A = this chain, B = another copy of it.
């Protein structure tokens, strides 16, 4: 990025810390400019105070968190253990942000373009969650045909005449005023929930065994499904592209055929929690007991253990 951005009239800054970074993001987004930053788990934790400020002040910005093994310093292997941090934690106060989970290089590109659209559409930060494997993989991607040069939005605090009277802040000393602001934010979250649910369905039409997985683990599941299908087992993958809002609309129709629900993830159930919460909030209580394959600390779920959970159970049932 340091080499590419200057040729595109952009600027690359190596900030002195993650706390500095998120405040650069606040300033840059507040000026109406398209800005993004990249970090890995511990750095993302450090940005949460600032992200809460950006949400409160309705400042756009795209944050990429390449999730690594944790907790603490951990290692740089792939994990998905920050899903709860992006989907639930996002700093103090009533906060939410669209959280996107790409699964391959092309999607990493497309989703980043989408993230910029969404962050300006809703004036709310957008989070892209990758994992340590995606953070290091390379692949050919198809670039968009043309690049749009965006202007400075009306609300921005930019240094020209037109934007100078604008004000952006997250302080609201009067309690009734801050309540009104929170109600406004909650309505925005509702609207996002309604409009922005995205999912990828793989062999789901007739699926009796529905896997739920995102990021790199979803690719392991796809491999497993191809094997299972060869064995005549009707398996499919529901892959949330938006982890928040969880794409429950696209999931509910699958419950008609589903006999088993299996969440495959590189975390201690954080994706499963999102699914459970989404079902509960829809007042959906009739579904197969959720099973899971979970790995940790930089180890990814492998195709054979994904196949095993299906076939082993079958044998037992048989």
Contacts and interface: CB of A to CB of B under 8 A. Distances in A.
B77 A175 contact: yes
B52 A71 contact: yes
B88 A171 contact: no
A152 interface: no
Contacts of A172: 69, 74-75, 297
A84 interface: yes
A11 B45 CA distance: 28
B46 A42 contact: no
Interface string A42-61: 11111011001111110000
Interface in A261-318: 267-268, 270, 273, 276-277, 279-281, 283, 285-286, 289, 295-299
Contacts of A178: 69, 74-75, 77, 296-298
A56 B279 CA distance: 31
A195 interface: no
Nearest to A287: B285
Interface stretch (A98-106, A109-117, A180-188, A245-253): A180-188
Nearest to A17: B16
A45 B42 contact: no
Contacts of A84: 88-89
Contacts of A13: 13
Contacts of A72: 52-57, 93, 169-171
B56 A73 contact: yes
A170 B73 contact: yes
A14 B31 CA distance: 14
Interface string A1-35: 01100000001011111111001000100000000
7 contacts: A11-B11, A13-B13, A14-B27, A71-B91, A74-B170, A75-B178, A178-B298
